[in-house]
Amino acid sequence: MDKPIIQKECVEAKFESRYVKVYDLQYKKDAHYLDATRRDLDNLVAIKSDEEFRDMLPDAVTIALIVKSKDESNAPKSDCRLLLNYEYRYPAGRFLLSPPAGLLDPEDAVADEPLITAAKREVLEETGITIKDTDKVFVMNPLLFSSPGMTDESNAIVCAVVELDDLSVISQNGAVGTECFNGYQLIDEKEAQKLLRSGRDNNGNFYSIYTWVVLSYFCSGLWKS
């Protein structure tokens, strides 16, 4: 199916603002489906051809950030742990255990490696860690939909395995815009398994699907190969 079911002329904007838009996707006569999105009409996922769909970039990138510490004063040499932030999530009204993440900027789209470029920037802003050329960074998944039953928003998942000589470089002072943080955790595999089993963080709160994804990936050991 190269031609989309929903044609551009059958899409009607119901609400438009700088931050979010709502479109009425009229997929047949008198049949309507609302789509909440960050995208403009010309870039709406629902009207893309199969080729455009397969080549599209996600709205954001989430990072499975794995730290190999050489700082013997804080951790055993070469200890590998997953870094997760406590970031304030406005719709949930509280700080949730979250991987570093952020939206793709327009300039990312024209970079040689858009997802890697965005991931490096977000890691630096949210953790103070600069991903070096000697570190391992790769795309785990190019695009995952958050909830295609309600919105076309999507995230890529990038994995970064970084070596740090000094854990004191970790900082959340680079937060921009609406970002708000309240500390972080460096989680070993045993702790990650505990979080997966309970479905809650150490404060008893729930977390997002993307936290579950990076926890699962960390525990799987796939990042090592």
Model pLDDT for residues 87-131, shown as the tens digit of each residue: 999 999 999 999 999 999 999 999 999 999 999 999 999 999 999
Residues 102 and 47 both lie in one domain: no
The per-residue pLDDT of the chain, averaged, comes to 93
Residues 118 and 189 both lie in one domain: yes
**Domain-embedded: residue 3:** no
Looking at residue 1, its pLDDT comes to 53
Q: How far apart are CA 211 and CA 207, in angstroms?
A: 6
Residues 113 and 25 both lie in one domain: no
The number of domains in the chain is 2
Residues 50 and 100 both lie in one domain: no
Comparing 25-34, 51-60, 61-70, the range with the smallest average pLDDT is 25-34
Model pLDDT for residues 21-47, shown as the tens digit of each residue: 999 998 888 889 999 999 999 999 999
Structural domain of 90: 60-224
Q: How far apart are CA 182 and CA 177, in angstroms?
A: 15
Residues 93 and 49 both lie in one domain: no
Residues 183 and 143 both lie in one domain: yes
CATH number at 191 reads 3.90.79.10
DSSP, collapsed to helix, strand or coil, labels residue 29 as: coil
Looking at residue 76, its pLDDT comes to 46
Residues 189 and 87 both lie in one domain: yes
DSSP, collapsed to helix, strand or coil, labels residue 78 as: coil
**Domain-embedded: residue 119:** yes
Q: Residue 149 — very low, low, confident or very high, per pLDDT cuts 50/70/90?
A: confident
**Domain-embedded: residue 17:** yes
Residues 106 and 163 both lie in one domain: yes
Residues 202 and 128 both lie in one domain: yes
Residues 208 and 169 both lie in one domain: yes
Looking at residue 79, its pLDDT comes to 81
Residues 159 and 64 both lie in one domain: yes
78: left (phi over 0), alpha (psi -120 to 50) or beta: left
Is the pLDDT at 206 greater than 80, yes or no?
yes
**Domain-embedded: residue 72:** yes
Q: Which of 55, 73, 91 is where one domain is finished?
A: 55
Average pLDDT over residues 135-141: 97
Residues 41 and 135 both lie in one domain: no
Q: Residue 200 — very low, low, confident or very high, per pLDDT cuts 50/70/90?
A: very high
Q: What is the pTM of this model?
A: 0.91
Nearest to 135 by CA among 85, 68, 188: 68
Is the pLDDT at 75 greater than 80, yes or no?
no
Is the pLDDT at 78 greater than 60, yes or no?
no
Q: Which of 40, 55, 70 is where one domain is finished?
A: 55
